């Protein structure tokens, strides 16, 4: 077994959806000028592939939109819970302050009663 045959066996063969070998093309866009890329040489197959990809991307986008709506509603629910808990905390603090003031007044009045 020669070295060239062992290296050839490790290479993978690129094939398009039809099973044909893809062609090498050169990009003419301003973004990637002269960039080489591979694609199916059969234009109809390429368009089918792009259609399938577009449908899959549309489904994924719909899932992401649904997830976004769910997360927004969850955020709103959590914000409402924070407001309720904040109001409860204010009410508890008010009760504690009033209790401390009443206790101080009671101690002050008891102290005056013993001295007077």
pLDDT in tens, 6-65: 555 556 566 666 677 777 778 778 887 888 877 777 767 666 777 777 888 889 999 999
Task: Tell me the HSE value of 83 on the side-chain side, using a 13 A CA sphere.
Answer: 6
pLDDT at residue 37 in the model: 73
> Which residues have CB under 8 Å from 63's CB, separation 6+?
none
**DSSP string over the chain:** --HHHHHHHHSPPP--TTSSPPEEEE--SSSSTT-EEEE-S-HHHHHHHHHHHHHHHHHHHHHHHHHHHHHHHHHHHHHHHHHHHHHHHHHHHHHHHHHHHHHHHHHHHHHHHHH-
Mean pLDDT of 99-104: 92
Higher pLDDT, 104 or 49: 104
Q: Where are the domains of the chain?
A: 23-86
Tell me how long the chain is.
116
pLDDT at residue 68 in the model: 96
CA 68 to chain centre: 8
Higher pLDDT, 68 or 52: 68
Q: Is the pTM of this model over 0.75?
A: no
What is the phi/psi pair of residue 39, to 5°? -160, 165
pLDDT at residue 53 in the model: 76
């Amino acid at each position: 077994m020669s070295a060239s045959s062992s290296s050839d066996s490790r290479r993978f063969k690129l094939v398009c959806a039809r099973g044909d070998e893809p062609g090498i093309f050169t990009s003419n866009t301003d973004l990637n000028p002269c960039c080489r890329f591979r694609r199916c040489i059969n234009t109809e197959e390429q368009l089918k592939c792009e259609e399938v990809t577009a449908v899959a991307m549309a489904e994924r986008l719909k899932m992401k939109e649904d997830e976004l709506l769910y997360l927004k509603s969850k955020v709103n629910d959590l914000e409402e819970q924070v407001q309720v808990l904040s109001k409860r905390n204010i009410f508890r603090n008010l009760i504690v302050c009033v209790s401390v003031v009443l206790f101080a007044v009671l101690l002050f009045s008891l102290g005056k009663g013993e001295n007077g």
